[in-house]
Amino acid sequence: MAEQKKKSIDRRSFLLNAGRAACGLALGGLAYRVISAHMDEETAGPKSRYVWAINPDKCTFCGKCETACNRTPSAVKAVNDQKKCSCCVVCYGHISNKQIPSEKIMSDGERVCPEDAVTRVNYSGGKDGYFIYDIDDNKCTGCGKCAKACNDKGTKSMFLIIRPDLCLNCNGCNIAAVCPDGAIERLYYGPEDNFRGIYELEGM
């Protein structure tokens, strides 16, 4: 009974996190949804299906998501929750030499991402104003380096997701089999949760 209660609380906190991420992305101007609130079998409905998902509270960005996925390139991608992001001039998930002068960031900044998939767009106009950091999912291989740096030193706004539209929905997720933190879970994805996989910033 106690175990069942604990499981239910864990699940609720995961859902809150998933919901917060989806909400944050929406409020941040991204036409993008991470996952539905219908993780419960009884309310998910007959047309719902399972998806594999990463529990953001458990993932430690070990790097295995990039290589263990049965899909190539991996179905795992990094995203940046714009509501949590501080939109700093210098971003830990973007470059590693954070003391660099702001005008040299784009030319001399040492990129955290080996694919240079973390993009930086000036949002407010001034050279030291607000900056939007986004992930180019066409380049992202799911290595987690940006999210690790952001979680270790920044605002923890970057994290990894398994994209439902890319995932092959393998019976046994290969990442779940090797994840050292038990961070891969199977959740319900309702038909009304129209996952679009769109990452463009609106109004930019």
Footprint of ligand SF4 (CB under 6 A): 52, 54, 59-62, 64-65, 69-71, 75, 78, 112-113, 115, 117-118, 135, 140-146, 160, 162, 167-170, 173-175, 179-181, 183-184
Determine contact, residues 52/173, Cβ cutoff 8 Å.
Answer: yes
Q: Which is nearer to ligand SF4, 26 or 176 (CB)?
A: 176
Cα distances from 117 to residues 7, 17, 21, 103, 139, in angstroms, run 36, 24, 20, 20, 5
d(CA 28, CA 17): 16
Closest approach of Cβ 60 to ligand SF4, in Å? 5
Residue with tokens 């295995």: 64
If the CB atoms of residues 122 and 174 are measured against ligand SF4, the closer one turns out to be: 174
What minimum distance in Å lies between the beta carbon of 124 and ligand SF4?
Answer: 23
3-state DSSP assignment of residue 135: strand
Q: Which is nearer to ligand SF4, 89 or 146 (CB)?
A: 146
CB 164 within 8 A of CB 79: no
Q: Which is nearer to ligand SF4, 101 or 115 (CB)?
A: 115
Q: Which is nearer to ligand SF4, 95 or 135 (CB)?
A: 135
Least separation in angstroms between CB 7 and ligand SF4: 19
Shortest distance, position 155 Cβ to ligand SF4, whole Å: 15
Choice between 49 and 127, CB closer to ligand SF4: 49
Cβ proximity of 147 and 79 under 8 Å: no
Indicate the residue type of 52.
W
Number of Cβ within a 10 Å radius of residue 116: 11
Instruction: For residue 30, give both structure tokens.
Output: 């991204």
- Minimum distance from CB of 19 to ligand SF4 (Å)? 19
Q: How far is the CB of 125 from ligand SF4 (least distance, A)?
A: 26
For the chain, what percentages of helix, strand and coil (3-state, to nearest 5) are there? 25, 20, 55
